[in-house]
Amino acid sequence: MKTRRITRERLVPHTLDGKTRMVPDEETIDIPLPPRDWDQIGINVVTGIVTLALLGCMAFSTASIGDLLSRVTPAPAAYGAAALFDLAWIGCSIIEWLARYTPDRANKARAGGYVALAVAMGAVAVHGWIAGGIATGLVGAAASGLAKGLWAIALDYQAAPLSKRDAAFFEQELSEAAVELARIPVRRRVTRARALAEGEQRTLEAENGSADPDQSGQSASGSGSSAPDVDRKSLTTKEAVRIAWDDGIRERDGVIHDAAQRLGRPVSPDSVDRYLRDLRRGA
């Protein structure tokens, strides 16, 4: 068995003058080496071959299609557009690999990749036919086909096969994660919209006076409770929350109701939550 010698540090007891302490000490040991993983070596070799094939194919296709397009357009633009032919099916192949756990998405990317490959092979074949004949065009087009085929086989070998139930399970997991991510910008937009609406309401009240002609302070639910008379034109949501807090109201719903009563308009629950958090930290 092959071994490898390593030096490691460990703590050992050391005593001086009757006092023991744990001090670092080095020791050299031999550890067994794992057997060589020929399967992984083979995958690495294939990955290198695929990478070289893609680079060579893209260089050849770009030169070929660029020469074809440069007959009618300036060379920089022609070769820039020529690179897109291979980049399109290479990008679809990468998406196909990323979507290997969601077969529906992988199938769409796979179909798009083959369509883009067919277009690229056709362009290379046309250039070869114009430059050197039908045989030249077919051989040139085969380069892209071989590169794509080799990559497709390598991806298919490494992709784990999934049953329909497993695929459906992962689809639901990804869907739930997507909903959680989507909630973040939605909440941000809702908060911004409520803040704008609150600012607009305050502006209208400042121009026209109180928006609530009923100054009795009765709640909409008819509970009969009333809030102290305040100047609603100058009162802010933060101040209304502070007043409710000082009155001993701690429940979120109660604070929202009391603040809305004092302001004479609905208040943003998110703003109330933020002010309550500040008050609780201060308490």
Tally of CB atoms within 10 A around 121:
22
Residue range 17-67, pLDDT digits in tens: 889 999 999 888 888 888 888 888 888 898 899 889 888 888 999 999 999
With beta carbons less than 8 A apart as the criterion, state whether 261 and 219 touch: yes
- Whether 26 maps to a domain, the answer reads yes
Identify whether 156 is part of a domain: yes
At 5, phi and psi to the nearest 5? -90, 130
The pLDDT, as a whole number, for residue 232 is 57
Question: How does residue 148 score in pLDDT terms, banded at 50, 70 and 90?
Answer: confident
pLDDT greater than 60 at residue 156? yes
Per the CB < 8 A criterion, the answer to whether 211 and 265 are in contact is: yes
Question: Are 20 and 54 found together in one domain?
Answer: no
Q: Which domain holds residue 28?
A: 3-32
**Same domain assignment for residues 144 and 261:** no
pLDDT score for 3 = 83
Residues 45 and 12 in one domain: no
Helix (H, G, I), strand (E, B) or coil at 272: helix
> Per-residue pLDDT tens for 247-283?
888 888 888 888 888 888 888 888 888 888 888 887 6
- Give CA separation, 253 vs 60, 105, 246, 256, 277, in Å: 69, 44, 16, 5, 14
Give the contacts of 144 (CB within 8 A, at least 6 positions apart).
57, 61, 86, 89, 117, 120, 121, 124
Average pLDDT of the chain is 82
Q: What does the angle CA 137 – CA 142 – CA 143 come to, to the nearest 5 degrees?
A: 105
Q: Do 28 and 69 have their domain in common? A: no
Tell me if 129 sits within 8 A of 136, measured CB to CB. yes
* Number of domains the chain is built from: 3
Q: Where residue 213 falls among pLDDT bands split at 50, 70, 90? A: very low
In a domain, 134, yes or no: yes
Q: Please check the confidence at residue 210 and state whether its pLDDT lies above 50.
A: no
CB crowding 216-230: b at 16 or more within 10 Å, else e: eeeeeeeeeeebeee
Token pair, residue 70, equals 């440069």
Which tokens in the block code for residue 22? 């744990």
Same domain, 186 and 246: yes
Residues 25 and 46 in one domain: no
pLDDT band at 115 (very low <50, low <70, confident <90, very high): very high
The verdict on 100 and 123 lying in the same domain is: yes
Same domain, 24 and 124: no
Same domain, 196 and 116: no
pLDDT value of position 22: 92
Task: Identify which has the larger pLDDT, 217 or 198.
Answer: 198
164 & 249 share domain: no
Contacts of 138 (CB under 8 A, 6+ apart): 125, 128
> What distance in Å separates the CA atoms of residue 232 and residue 209, rounded to the nearest whole number?
9
On whether residue 62 sits in a domain, the answer given is yes
pLDDT at residue number 208: 63
Residue 225 has pLDDT above 60, yes or no: no
163, 46: one domain = yes
What residues form DSSP beta bridges with 22? Answer: 13
- What is the 8-class DSSP label of residue 100? T
Mean pLDDT, rounded, for 216-238: 53
- pLDDT of 119 reads 92
- The residues facing 14 across adjacent strands are 21
Is 215 among the domain residues? no
> Would you say residue 216 lies in a domain?
no
Range of 8-17, 103-112, 165-174 with top mean pLDDT: 8-17
- Show which of 143, 168, 193 is a domain's final residue: 168
Residue 74 falls inside a structural domain: yes
DSSP H helices, 36-74, are 38-69
Q: In this model, does residue 206 exceed pLDDT 80? A: no
- Residue that wins the pLDDT comparison between 158 and 243: 243
173 part of a folded domain: no
The mean pLDDT value for 135-146 works out to 87
Residue 226 has pLDDT above 60, yes or no: no
Same-domain check for residues 148 and 204: no
